Chain A
Amino acid sequence: MVRSGPTGLSARATIDPADPVFAGHYRGFALLPGLFLVEYVSAAVRAATAQAGIRPVAVERAKFHRPVFPGDELAIEASLAVDNGELRCVATVATAVGPVADVRLSYQATELVRQLSCQATELSGG
């Protein structure tokens, strides 16, 4: 589930305990690979921008505060800003126990940037 505006997004996701990933990460102790949180943020940006092909060109920074387990509910809050032709996403990911990760992604998406600028203009004009 994703809600978004021209400058940010909120998304919720549940870590499915039946996800096959847990058979191999790890046997006897299921733990979500930290990088999968980057994928959840990335998926939220794809959904919020309605750009299925949009791909990050950099993970500027990511910090992982605590592990995520099957069944955890993720709350993603992110800001989106255009800077020098790049779209920057600054996201925090939290579960019921508190923040689990901070993720900063960059995208190079000319068409998207144009659309976002239009949206922002329409909003400020309205």
Chain B
Amino acid sequence: MIGVAEIKRIIPHRFPVLLLDGVSEVDPGRSLVAYKAVTSREPHFADLDEYAAPEAYAYPVSLLLESWAQAAVLLARWAEPNPDVLTGRVELLAGIRRVELPHPVYPGSVLRHHVELVRAVDDAAIFTGRTEVDGVTVVRVGQFTLASRTIDMLRLETKE
């Protein structure tokens, strides 16, 4: 449905941490399905030597969840794009509950992130969902909360 160029018009994440390749379905304000292909050229695999164990090639949990989180931000900002934090707002991760990671993800996998908006109040939004690879669930997200701040609010924190 849309690719990287359009995603960059909606969310502020950029290379090397724009962790989405496209969106295949969206029901604005309710749900979204986004995807990302994991390859052996991901930057963090560059440090692995000849003797690295097969498990070392599992895609890191932090990046797997960051990729899912970007799908949540995309759904949150679909109708009100926020491509530049300097003129818009910053979405911060406030909390996570019950995230299960039943299977590791290896290069060659295409992640399909399913995100549902549970509710949005003031400057916070709560999501739930999952990630599938070839129909197998690799991530189950119980509850994921994003908080939105202005850049000026964050600048105050850097000075504390």
Q: Which residues of B contact A23 (CB under 8 A)?
A: 14-16
A29 B14 Cβ-Cβ under 8 A: no
Q: Which residue of B lies closest to A63 (CB)?
A: B95
Q: A25 to B14, Cβ gap below 8 A?
A: yes
Contacting pair A38 B97 (CB below 8 A): no
Task: Let me know if B69 and A35 touch, CB within 8 A.
Answer: yes
* Bound-state Cα–Cα, A97 to B156, Å: 13
- B12 on the A face (CB < 8 A): yes
Interface residues of A in 1-47 (CB under 8 A from B): 20-21, 23-29, 31, 33-36, 38-39, 42
How many B residues, CB 8 Å from partner?
40
| B-side contacts of A61, CB under 8 Å | 95-98
Q: Is the interface of A mostly helix, strand, loop or mixed?
A: mixed
When the two chains form their complex, are residues B18 and A24 in contact, meaning their CB atoms are under 8 A apart?
Answer: yes
Instruction: Collect the chain A residues with CB atoms within 8 Å of residue B90's CB.
Output: 26, 29, 31
User: By the criterion CB–CB under 8 Å, are B98 and A60 in contact?
Assistant: yes
Q: Which B residues lie within 8 Å of A33 (CB)?
A: 17, 62, 66, 69, 93
| Chain B interface mostly | mixed
Q: From A30, which residue of chain B is reached at the shortest CB distance?
A: B158
In the bound complex, how far is the Cα of B12 from the Cα of A35, in angstroms? 16
Which of B18, B93, B104 is most buried by chain A, counting CB atoms within 10 A of its CB? B93
A120 contacts which chain B residues (CB < 8 A)? none
Least distance between B139 CB and chain A CB atoms (Å): 10
B151 within 8 A of A: yes
**Across the interface, which residues of A come within 8 angstroms of B56, CB to CB?**
52-53
B85 within 8 A of A: yes
A62 within 8 A of B: yes
The smallest beta-carbon distance between B99 and chain A, in angstroms, is 4
Kindly state the separation between the CA atoms of A62 and B61 in the bound complex, as whole angstroms.
13
Contact among A26, A36, A55, A69 with B14 in the assembled complex (CB-CB below 8 Å)? A26
Contact in complex: B86, A29 (CB < 8 Å)? yes
Query: Which residues in window 1-52 of B have CB below 8 A to A?
Result: 12-18, 43
B80 within 8 Å of A by Cβ? no
Cβ-defined contact, A26 with B85, below 8 A? yes
Give 30 pairs: A residue, B residue, CB < 8 Å, sorted on A: A21-B17, A23-B14, A26-B12, A26-B13, A26-B14, A26-B90, A28-B85, A29-B85, A29-B90, A31-B90, A33-B62, A33-B66, A35-B66, A35-B69, A35-B93, A38-B61, A38-B65, A42-B61, A53-B55, A55-B58, A55-B61, A57-B101, A59-B61, A59-B65, A61-B95, A61-B97, A61-B98, A63-B94, A64-B92, A67-B157
5 interchain residue pairs of minimum CB distance:
A53-B55, A39-B62, A24-B14, A34-B93, A59-B99
